Chains A and B, each alone.
Chain A
């Protein structure tokens, strides 16, 4: 029960008035930005990253925890009230949620999403508390070759699972890796790929890449084919659940949680698969009125996937905090946030900085509760946010993107780099290259390089050192499988089609 004690210490950190305030600011900003159309959780965190520059680490991470969960909540509100979400994980929520809203049950849809997210988030954070120390104990013996293999697994999994075309996933990954290469080599001090531009010597800051690919890329993409006319937002009052809605919701919440957490914790698991699984399981289990309503706005189809979505968000934190391994774009940006403070998540972080880690975990519970309190009554306000005229919304996004990037180094050159990355993000959106692999490649690439060189240095040039440890060998085999599975499926599909 050592972790219980640590968690209590974490609560002591999280519940100080100042940190409670940071948590509140975090969840509010997170929800607000997450609600904005066109902004998913990853972009929310990226855009809000600069705000925390002047905040001490422990408080900053408490705020980030709030932003992370808040962004998740915000996304589901958008998909229920507006439909056609950009974030693939809330796509499923929109299926039933938007139909519920159109039938006049927006309040119930939002409530089951909010309460379901709370239930799932709380249980999954509890599981995180239990799982994290176990993984840390296991990972403490990891050598550089194991970390390298882990990075390779994250690369291949995110490229092949998160995208529909492996080659496009890998192309995106490689773009991220190249961006990560720019700058001075950490081990030898040699400049690489800087094109003689002094601003590139320190590498391209993660904030610039994330804001460029997500925010500016999105704005350019939207500019290219903006939907004119007023957005159709379903009006909504205070979110609430009736008795029958409760009895229809609680089982899907629990099932969704059970699905979401393990998938979130796996590299490449992400939120898409568990939300979809939850959707189809609820569909199969639907009886009576639920069965009739399915496809026309059944509450089970909102409750389950929303719970799965949030549980996977908590699950993602397990590999992130214990191994420093991001498994989603949002997690990758959170990892970058740690690195901004010179902190490297991993087993050592739990040793050296228990107050910070456990404070953050405790604040996840706190933030979750705040979100529930905030979201039920504030639903009408979020609905109003959705009505912001799009020209102002996207101009504002660009203004804040520019602000965040300029604040880094006060350099206009970086604004130009931001623009170029924005173009890249635009092209990636237009041609269906997933952005997540690029972000993960960018952030994990340098780590993979260091671990690879370390491992090979230990092996004195012997390449077999990379597979000598059973863990590394297993991970590499799994990554190979991750790459090949879609190929096999493709061949099978072709054979069936022929």
Chain B
């Protein structure tokens, strides 16, 4: 009964994970933690751990923290999947060790090579592992956790930004500190505190569970090219909308995105794009009185 575990489980594991993470830096303390983890980790984990111990035999210490680096088997290890890649990836992950060698933080496969400070040997062993599994793209606790640090730092930075950014707001005639700076200071202050806890949590090996969704395939690695293309198309749309008008820009947006996302028939995608943008224009502008730019077609429609 997976749902039973879900609400309480991850929090629990997160806690233990964090605890173990601390211990994990020292070889000895970590091994039992790894075992415990494999226990509550359940299916995905167990499949991974034997492989790991094999691949990482040289550094027993390395494997334990690696283990708790991805406390949730469901998402992560599922994607780690390809046995060849797992050992290299998972083993290296002593939480808190900052060293990611040659990893591209943006690509989950690239980030595999988080190195394990506890065992220098781990770093040596890993590239080998990695090469063996690199083709399949190992999904690791590291590659998830490293970028998460970015989000945690963003929270921290936003907290500071809120305080600094509202410092110059003049509180007109307010003597009690209840002016326009009061609440932002409260929010900013709490945010600094939350951000700090968040950073510490990430560093100690805690991580959030990537959200499930109908069309998400947790078994694949992140496709950054598609994300970048979607971004470029959308921003180009935003920039050109006023010039081209809704019908043309909207059609281009739809066409570009559907081709990027893998539409099989370009012609069909094009026809749907033009139909959709034209119909929405007619319905919303003529029917519902919403303002959309006519752009190049302003005389025509």
Partners in one complex: yes
Which residues does A use to contact B, with CB under 8 Å? 37-38, 50-51, 53-54, 78, 82, 84-86, 91-92, 95, 164-165, 167-168, 170-171, 174-175, 177-178, 181, 185, 187-188, 190-193, 195, 216, 218-228, 231, 272-273, 276, 279-280, 283, 389-392, 394-396, 398-400, 402-403, 406-407, 410, 412, 415-416, 418-419, 422-423, 426-433, 445, 448-449, 452-453, 456-457, 460-461, 486, 489-491, 493-494, 497
B211, A399: Cβ atoms closer than 8 Å? no
When chains A and B are docked, how far (Å) is the Cα of A383 from the Cα of B242? 38
Residues of A contacting B170 in the complex (Cβ-Cβ under 8 angstroms): 190
A427, B151: Cβ atoms closer than 8 Å? yes
19 further A-B pairs in the complex, CB-CB below 8 A; given A85-B214, A394-B215, A431-B148: A92-B3, A165-B10, A165-B208, A167-B194, A185-B169, A191-B169, A220-B231, A223-B260, A225-B223, A226-B220, A391-B257, A407-B292, A412-B241, A423-B231, A426-B227, A431-B144, A432-B209, A460-B176, A494-B12
A457, B159: Cβ atoms closer than 8 Å? no
Known: A164-B11, A432-B210. A178 touches B191 (CB 8 A): yes
Among A224, A228, A493, contact of B11 (Cβ-Cβ < 8 Å): A493
A457, B158: Cβ atoms closer than 8 Å? no
When chains A and B are docked, how far (Å) is the Cα of A453 from the Cα of B174? 11
Residues of A contacting B212 in the complex (Cβ-Cβ under 8 angstroms): 84-86, 91
B147 at the interface (CB under 8 A from A): yes
Interface digits, B162-184 against A, CB 8 Å rule (1 contact, 0 not)? 10011001111010111110111
Residues of A contacting B211 in the complex (Cβ-Cβ under 8 angstroms): 86, 221, 429-430, 432
A403, B162: Cβ atoms closer than 8 Å? no
B201 at the interface (CB under 8 A from A): yes
Interface-side segment among B57-65, B86-94, B114-122, B262-270: B262-270
A457, B176: Cβ atoms closer than 8 Å? yes
When chains A and B are docked, how far (Å) is the Cα of A392 from the Cα of B161? 39
Among B166, B183, B184, B218, contact of A225 (Cβ-Cβ < 8 Å): B218
Secondary structure type dominating chain A contacts: helix
When chains A and B are docked, how far (Å) is the Cα of A433 from the Cα of B147? 13
B155, A431: Cβ atoms closer than 8 Å? no
When chains A and B are docked, how far (Å) is the Cα of A426 from the Cα of B106? 13
B277 at the interface (CB under 8 A from A): yes
Q: Can you sample 16 A-B contacts with CB below 8 Å?
A: A86-B213, A164-B209, A165-B208, A174-B187, A190-B180, A272-B7, A279-B3, A391-B260, A395-B273, A403-B246, A415-B241, A418-B238, A432-B210, A433-B151, A445-B187, A448-B183
Residues of A contacting B16 in the complex (Cβ-Cβ under 8 angstroms): 493-494, 497
In the complex, chain B residues 226-284 whose Cβ is within 8 Å of any chain A Cβ: 226-227, 230-231, 234-235, 237-239, 241-242, 246, 250, 253-255, 257-264, 269, 272-273, 276-277, 280, 284
Interface digits, B190-209 against A, CB 8 Å rule (1 contact, 0 not)? 11001101100100001111
A188, B174: Cβ atoms closer than 8 Å? yes
From B226, which residue of chain A is reached at the shortest CB distance? Answer: A223
Known: A226-B223, A457-B176. A276 touches B237 (CB 8 A): no
Residues of A contacting B293 in the complex (Cβ-Cβ under 8 angstroms): 410
B190, A429: Cβ atoms closer than 8 Å? no
Residues of B contacting A389 in the complex (Cβ-Cβ under 8 angstroms): 263-264
B272, A193: Cβ atoms closer than 8 Å? no
Residues of B contacting A400 in the complex (Cβ-Cβ under 8 angstroms): 280
Among B8, B215, B290, contact of A222 (Cβ-Cβ < 8 Å): B215
Among B178, B197, B223, contact of A453 (Cβ-Cβ < 8 Å): B178
When chains A and B are docked, how far (Å) is the Cα of A231 from the Cα of B214? 9
Report the minimal beta-carbon distance from A199 to chain B, rounded to whole angstroms. Answer: 13
Among B15, B151, B166, B206, contact of A494 (Cβ-Cβ < 8 Å): B15
Residues of B contacting A461 in the complex (Cβ-Cβ under 8 angstroms): 176-178
Among A168, A171, A225, A418, contact of B216 (Cβ-Cβ < 8 Å): A225
Residues of A contacting B259 in the complex (Cβ-Cβ under 8 angstroms): 391
Report the minimal beta-carbon distance from B237 to chain A, rounded to whole angstroms. Answer: 7
User: How many A-B contacts are there with CB distance less than 8 Å?
Assistant: 303
From B235, which residue of chain A is reached at the shortest CB distance? Answer: A419
Among A86, A190, A416, A493, contact of B169 (Cβ-Cβ < 8 Å): A190
B194, A174: Cβ atoms closer than 8 Å? yes
Residues of A contacting B217 in the complex (Cβ-Cβ under 8 angstroms): 225-228
B296 at the interface (CB under 8 A from A): no
A407, B291: Cβ atoms closer than 8 Å? yes
When chains A and B are docked, how far (Å) is the Cα of A460 from the Cα of B257? 56
Most-contacted residue by chain A among B161, B198, B201 (CB, 10 A)? B198
When chains A and B are docked, how far (Å) is the Cα of A175 from the Cα of B257? 29
Report how many residues on chain B are interfacial, defined by Cβ distance under 8 Å.
Answer: 104
When chains A and B are docked, how far (Å) is the Cα of A406 from the Cα of B284? 12
Residues of B contacting A95 in the complex (Cβ-Cβ under 8 angstroms): 3
Residues of B contacting A195 in the complex (Cβ-Cβ under 8 angstroms): 165
Report the minimal beta-carbon distance from B268 to chain A, rounded to whole angstroms. Answer: 9
A395, B194: Cβ atoms closer than 8 Å? no
Report the minimal beta-carbon distance from A1 to chain B, rounded to whole angstroms. Answer: 40
B10, A164: Cβ atoms closer than 8 Å? yes
Residues of B contacting A165 in the complex (Cβ-Cβ under 8 angstroms): 10-11, 14, 201, 206, 208
Report the minimal beta-carbon distance from B6 to chain A, rounded to whole angstroms. Answer: 8
B215, A38: Cβ atoms closer than 8 Å? yes
B34 at the interface (CB under 8 A from A): no
Report the minimal beta-carbon distance from B190 to chain A, rounded to whole angstroms. Answer: 6
Residues of A contacting B171 in the complex (Cβ-Cβ under 8 angstroms): 188, 190
When chains A and B are docked, how far (Å) is the Cα of A242 from the Cα of B12? 43
B223, A223: Cβ atoms closer than 8 Å? yes
A192, B169: Cβ atoms closer than 8 Å? yes
Among B165, B235, B241, contact of A193 (Cβ-Cβ < 8 Å): B165
Residues of A contacting B27 in the complex (Cβ-Cβ under 8 angstroms): none
When chains A and B are docked, how far (Å) is the Cα of A188 from the Cα of B14? 44
When chains A and B are docked, how far (Å) is the Cα of A468 from the Cα of B223? 55
Residues of A contacting B207 in the complex (Cβ-Cβ under 8 angstroms): 431-432
B180, A489: Cβ atoms closer than 8 Å? no
When chains A and B are docked, how far (Å) is the Cα of A177 from the Cα of B184? 9
A175, B155: Cβ atoms closer than 8 Å? yes
When chains A and B are docked, how far (Å) is the Cα of A265 from the Cα of B84? 50
B301 at the interface (CB under 8 A from A): no
Known: A193-B184, A427-B151, A457-B178. A174 touches B218 (CB 8 A): no
Most-contacted residue by chain B among A164, A231, A276, A461 (CB, 10 A)? A164
When chains A and B are docked, how far (Å) is the Cα of A171 from the Cα of B11? 16
A493, B12: Cβ atoms closer than 8 Å? yes
B289 at the interface (CB under 8 A from A): yes
Known: A167-B201, A181-B162, A457-B176. A221 touches B12 (CB 8 A): no
Report the minimal beta-carbon distance from A202 to chain B, rounded to whole angstroms. Answer: 16
A192, B10: Cβ atoms closer than 8 Å? no
Known: A225-B218, A226-B226, A456-B178. A431 touches B254 (CB 8 A): no
Residues of A contacting B237 in the complex (Cβ-Cβ under 8 angstroms): 402, 415
